[in-house]
Amino acid sequence: MNAAVSLLGRVLPTTVHLRAAIPPTHPSAKLLGTERMGTGTLIDPEGLVLTVNYVVLGARDVRATLLDGREHIAEVLKYDFESGLGLVRIPLRGLPAVALHPSTGLALGQEVFCIASVGEGSARVGTGAISYLGPFDANWEYVLDRAIMTTSMNPGLGGGPLLDALGRMVGVVSLNLNEIGRFSLAIPSDYFLDARDRFLAGGRRGMGARAWLGVFCYAMNARVVIAGVLPGAPGDQAGLRPGDVVLAIDGRAIGDRISMYRSLWSRRPGEAVTLDIARGSQPRRVTLAAGDPVDFFAE
């Protein structure tokens, strides 16, 4: 018990409450709203805070509240469309920081815990075990080659740390899955560790440029069905509609979302992409120039 209390006493102060205000004109505002809150984790004594990209996407800066109640304006450094991570910086030095650790040594059944902000100066802890290590794909043109799923429920706002029994941060809690035995999804810390230099590089806030349609889709009966189209995105401009079934991309048959995304990402932004779709009982062929989420969501 003393060891557990000591561990929590060490990692809890690294938890940060984030509040972001996004201009209503930003393309993400229609999807995610103009007022967002999330959890972040101090990963460096120089004030670096790791979180998820959907909290800070479109924000010039965010209000960061430490667990002791101190509030600061934090600069948004990067939001990555490939990994789903975001990075901000608090203008302070000598802050407590958690150690990042690669997730490659994790095993099924291993005990983990997560921390989440539940408001300014408050946080909760959830405990559980790793229940899945493997690929994950989502409806917004997103794939993790190796995701982490746990039996630990996220007890608050997304973006907080997933930690092992030694208090090392092995992932960033991203989504509540609410599946049996798989309650939460975490992005492995490797996605930041392997790209740390790019996250810290100057220039544009957005990173992770790749061919992009701006569609939301689901898989059903070995088919991929478009569920929604982002207004103004390349798919919308090309006339794609909810209910369209994607049969092939550039002549390559599509039977699941991962193969659809991989086929799309074999192209570069700006290159022509040809989709064979079924709309009702009618086959159609649509050719469009692939977009780039970094450009589309640029401030």
Residue 139: inside a domain, yes or no?
A: yes
Cα(233)–Cα(64) distance, rounded to whole angstroms?
32
HEC string for 158-204: CCCEEEECCCCEEEEEEEEEEECCEEEEEEECHHHHCCHHHHHCCCC
Task: Check whether residue 7 and residue 125 sit in a common domain.
Answer: no
Residue 273: inside a domain, yes or no?
A: yes
Q: Name residues whose C-beta falls within 8 Å of residue 207's C-beta, 6 or more positions apart in sequence.
A: 78, 79, 80, 81, 82, 195, 198, 199, 294
Task: Check whether residue 183 and residue 219 sit in a common domain.
Answer: no
Task: Check whether residue 201 and residue 65 sit in a common domain.
Answer: yes
Task: Check whether residue 248 and residue 120 sit in a common domain.
Answer: no
Q: Which of 179, 207, 235 is the last residue of a domain?
A: 207
Q: Which of 155, 178, 207 is the last residue of a domain?
A: 207
Task: Check whether residue 148 and residue 134 sit in a common domain.
Answer: yes
Residue 258: inside a domain, yes or no?
A: yes
CATH of the domain at 284: 2.30.42.10
Task: Check whether residue 66 and residue 117 sit in a common domain.
Answer: no
Cα(259)–Cα(224) distance, rounded to whole angstroms?
10
Task: Check whether residue 274 and residue 223 sit in a common domain.
Answer: yes
CATH of the domain at 21: 2.40.10.10
Residue 102: inside a domain, yes or no?
A: no
Q: Write phi, then psi, for 105 (nearest 5 degrees).
A: -90, 0
The pLDDT of residue 187: 98
Residue 163: inside a domain, yes or no?
A: yes
DSSP 291: B
Residue 106: inside a domain, yes or no?
A: no
State the pTM of this model: 0.95
Range of the domain at 233: 215-296
Amino acid at 256: D
The pLDDT of residue 266: 95
SS3 call for 262: helix
Residues present in the chain in total: 299
Task: Check whether residue 38 and residue 88 sit in a common domain.
Answer: yes
Cα(135)–Cα(257) distance, rounded to whole angstroms?
12
Task: Check whether residue 129 and residue 144 sit in a common domain.
Answer: yes
pLDDT tens series, the chain, 299 aa: 445 778 898 999 999 999 999 999 999 998 999 999 999 999 999 999 999 999 999 998 899 999 999 999 999 999 999 999 999 999 999 999 999 999 999 999 999 999 999 998 899 999 999 999 999 999 999 999 999 999 999 999 999 999 999 999 999 999 999 888 899 999 999 999 999 999 999 899 999 999 999 999 999 999 999 999 999 999 999 999 999 999 999 999 999 999 999 999 999 999 999 999 999 888 999 999 999 999 999 97
**Burial of 38 per CB tally in 10 Å (0-12, 13-18, 19+):** buried
Residue 118: inside a domain, yes or no?
A: yes
Contact 191, 171 (CB under 8 A): no
The model's pLDDT over 94-132, given as tens digits with 9 standing for 90+, comes to: 999 999 999 999 999 999 999 999 998 899 999 999 999
The pLDDT of residue 1: 40
Q: Could you give the number of structural domains in the chain?
A: 3
Task: Check whether residue 11 and residue 88 sit in a common domain.
Answer: yes
Cα(114)–Cα(112) distance, rounded to whole angstroms?
7
Task: Check whether residue 260 and residue 289 sit in a common domain.
Answer: yes
Residue 104: inside a domain, yes or no?
A: no
Task: Check whether residue 36 and residue 92 sit in a common domain.
Answer: yes
Q: Which of 155, 190, 225 is the last residue of a domain?
A: 190
Q: Write phi, then psi, for 169 (nearest 5 degrees).
A: -80, 115
